[in-house]
A and B are shown apart, each in its own frame.
Chain A
Amino acid sequence: DGGITQSPKYLFRKEGQNVTLSCEQNLNHDAMYWYRQDPGQGLRLIYYSQIVNDFQKGDIAEGYSVSREKKESFPLTVTSAQKNPTAFYLCASRDGQGGYGYTFGSGTRLTVV
């Protein structure tokens, strides 16, 4: 079955280290997204990509970086510049234009100690 795979499910890192979260989809979707979820704040858009080798900043891109070298993959790097990286990170993809909802991965919970 097609879907989105995020790995790992749980991730622990020391403060000051960069960490990369994986997101892979086999849905043949053009657009991919990274959201951050914090309690009581809903989902906030970090980065998105509508096509390979192109991506745009979302609302809270500072301290994060992404790449889109393949249609199937959209990894997110949380850098040491991100002041409060502990959160639940969700990757999503979408095909078509607007009338289609997102397909979400199961998320990665990052804890920085």
Chain B
Amino acid sequence: AQSVTQLDSQVPVFEEAPVELRCNYSSSVSVYLFWYVQYPNQGLQLLLKYLSGSTLVKGINGFEAEFNKSQTSFHLRKPSVHISDTAEYFCAVSQGGYQKVTFGIGTKLQVIP
């Protein structure tokens, strides 16, 4: 079985400040890891993914995430946030093949002007 824990349900941050959204996962086998972003009343959009190789993954909109196998974490970071980054962010894990993807409960990022 696999699971995803997003430790913060809401994260307020001032514009142009850095942000980190935390994600921890559990799985008995190797996994693929994903971050998605959801704007209000819209579907989810893939931000970035970790499949293998370099543990630092860069995505769209200036976001990046680091895979840490020993800590089973995949935290999302951005050095300077913009108002347009206000959205909900979901971490997800899959064991590959056509195994289902398990999502965290989401973290709402609120960027304060």
Q: Which of B51, B97, B103 is close to A43, meaning CB atoms less than 8 Å apart?
A: B103
* Structural contact, A40 and B36, CB atoms closer than 8 A: no
Tell me how far the C-beta of A47 lies from the nearest C-beta in chain B, rounded to whole angstroms.
11
What is the size category of the interface that chain A forms with chain B?
20 to 34
Residue of A nearest to B101 (CB): A102
Q: Give the most central of A35, A45, A92, A102: most B CB within 10 Å.
A: A102
Tell me how far the C-beta of A40 lies from the nearest C-beta in chain B, rounded to whole angstroms.
6
Interface size on B, residues (CB 8 A): 25
Residues of B within 8 A of A (CB): 9, 32, 34, 36, 41-46, 49, 51, 90, 94-101, 103-106
A-B contact pairs, 23 of them (CB 8 A): A4-B43, A35-B103, A40-B9, A42-B90, A42-B103, A42-B104, A42-B105, A43-B90, A43-B103, A45-B100, A48-B100, A50-B98, A58-B100, A90-B43, A98-B96, A98-B97, A99-B32, A99-B51, A101-B34, A101-B36, A104-B36, A105-B43, A107-B41
